[in-house]
Amino acid sequence: MEKVKVTLIVAIYKSEKFLPKLIDSIINQTYKNLEIILVNDGSPDNSGVICDRYAEKDSRIRVIHKTNGGACEARNVGLSNATGEYVAIIDGDDWLEHDFVEYLLNIAKKTNSEMVLSDHIFTTRDRKQIDNDRIEIWTSAEAATAIIYPKMEIGPWNKLYKLELLRKNNISFSVPWSGEGLYFASTAAQCANHVGVGHKKIYNYRLNNVNSGLTNYNLQMAINAARNIQNIKNNLKIRTHELEEACNYHIWTNENFKIYLIVATNSMKKNKKLYKESKRNMFKLLPGRLIYSDVSFKRKVSMIITSLFPIYMAKRSIKKNRMALKNDRME
């Protein structure tokens, strides 16, 4: 299996604080036949210098320096330069468990899958490994449905894609709005022969990066993400009731996300029209989601309360998230 080359692509911007931990976790993988592409997306800090220093020590590392164009463009540059049989996408502030590649590649071999994933991750706030791991094979529709709901963390990372699958189906980070990871992963799942799935946590997702979209409130991000999920629904490659319902549920959550960010940015006066529109859409979409969405009863109760009292629930979530960020001290 070591004959199979795996390409790891990292788009890097303002990541100097986290890069050593990330790159060390890559070069120390138990699986050694790697192509490591570090794309410095015009980062104004010392990220590029750090990448070059690592490249001098490890011949598997290739550093590409480019002017800033955003994560999508940087990842696409990495994809166009990839030569491995499989590809993994990694965020510039995260890090990998030592057996990340070996674990996913083993699933690919056992299940003969063009795409593999683990549906659990570590975060800087959750360090507990799952108790029981098992390997499953999901159909393309099942995997895409789980990704779109989402029933796992949204993102192109924590997955392995056959490069031929991506190139044959022209799958790239070409969506010009937020939610590019959802588009990429759900499209790849729909095009794959099937998807191999494990449950062990092998990817570490950082929640305490003050430069990330998770901690910097930006209303435009929610507006763009709403366009993205609508685009995904309009261009589904597989049409099942479950997959379309996953899209409808995600559309409801995006309307709620708009209100969350209006409250978080203290911009109700400026965005009163958008707030009313989002609240109206939430009520319009709610009955169908209560009937058809594959979510827990507890979640459906929460959806009802949120639809009735969106500002109160947004303030409650903001307070909770800010407290979690304040207490998240993991380096």
Do 152 and 200 lie in one domain? The reply is yes
Mean pLDDT of 278-287: 98
Do 52 and 163 lie in one domain? The reply is yes
Q: Does residue 210 form part of some domain?
A: no
Mean pLDDT of 75-85: 97
Lowest mean pLDDT among 175-179, 264-268, 306-310: 175-179
Do 46 and 110 lie in one domain? The reply is yes
**Distance between CA 216 and CA 221 in Å, rounded?**
10
**Distance between CA 165 and CA 242 in Å, rounded?**
24
Q: Does residue 212 form part of some domain?
A: no
Confidence of residue 216 (pLDDT cuts 50, 70, 90): low
Length of the chain: 331
Do 172 and 28 lie in one domain? The reply is yes
H or E stretch including 141?
Answer: helix 140-148
Q: Does residue 306 form part of some domain?
A: yes
Do 187 and 268 lie in one domain? The reply is no
Task: Give the residue from 191, 186, 156 showing the smallest Cα distance to 71.
Answer: 156
Q: Does residue 211 form part of some domain?
A: no
pLDDT score of 176? 61
**In this structure, what is the dihedral angle of CA atoms 117, 122, 128, 132, given to the nearest 10 degrees?**
0
Provide, for the chain, the percentages of residues in helix, strand and coil under a 3-state DSSP scheme, each rounded to the nearest 5.
50, 15, 35
Do 177 and 233 lie in one domain? The reply is no
Confidence of residue 167 (pLDDT cuts 50, 70, 90): very high
H or E stretch including 115?
Answer: strand 115-118
Do 175 and 56 lie in one domain? The reply is yes
Q: Which amino acid is at 243?
A: L
Do 17 and 60 lie in one domain? The reply is yes
Burial class from Cβ neighbours inside 10 Å (0-12, 13-18, 19+) for residue 1 reads exposed
Query: In the numeric block, which tokens belong to residue 255?
Result: 């309307």
Tell me if 104 sits within 8 A of 118, measured CB to CB.
yes
pLDDT score of 325? 81
**Distance between CA 196 and CA 271 in Å, rounded?**
43
Burial class from Cβ neighbours inside 10 Å (0-12, 13-18, 19+) for residue 3 reads exposed
Mean pLDDT of 259-282: 96
Burial class from Cβ neighbours inside 10 Å (0-12, 13-18, 19+) for residue 280 reads exposed
- How many domains, the chain? 2
Do 146 and 261 lie in one domain? The reply is no
Residue 157 CA: distances (Å) to CA of 26, 50, 120, 213, 312:
14, 22, 11, 16, 33
**Distance between CA 33 and CA 101 in Å, rounded?**
10
Q: Does residue 213 form part of some domain?
A: no
User: What percentage of the chain exceeds 90 in pLDDT?
Assistant: 86
Q: Is the pLDDT of residue 24 over 90?
A: yes
Which tens digit of pLDDT belongs to each residue from 111-133? 999 999 999 999 999 999 999 99
Domain boundary among 205, 229, 264: 205
Q: Does residue 285 form part of some domain?
A: yes
Q: Does residue 189 form part of some domain?
A: yes
Backbone angles phi, psi at 81, to 5 degrees: -100, -5
Lowest mean pLDDT among 96-110, 176-190, 250-264: 176-190
Q: Which CATH number covers residue 107?
A: 3.90.550.10
Domain boundary among 205, 228, 261: 205
Which tens digit of pLDDT belongs to each residue from 168-211? 999 999 766 678 899 999 999 999 999 999 999 999 999 887 66
Backbone angles phi, psi at 29, to 5 degrees: -60, 145
Do 116 and 260 lie in one domain? The reply is no
pLDDT score of 331? 75
Domain boundary among 205, 237, 259: 205
Do 25 and 132 lie in one domain? The reply is yes
pLDDT averaged over every residue in the chain: 94
pLDDT score of 15? 93
User: What percentage of the chain exceeds 70 in pLDDT?
Assistant: 97
Q: Does residue 214 form part of some domain?
A: no
Tell me if 306 sits within 8 A of 313, measured CB to CB.
yes
**Distance between CA 307 and CA 318 in Å, rounded?**
17
Q: Which domain holds residue 308?
A: 219-327
Which pTM was predicted? 0.94
- CA–chain centroid gap for 75, Å, is 13
pLDDT score of 210? 63
Do 280 and 323 lie in one domain? The reply is yes
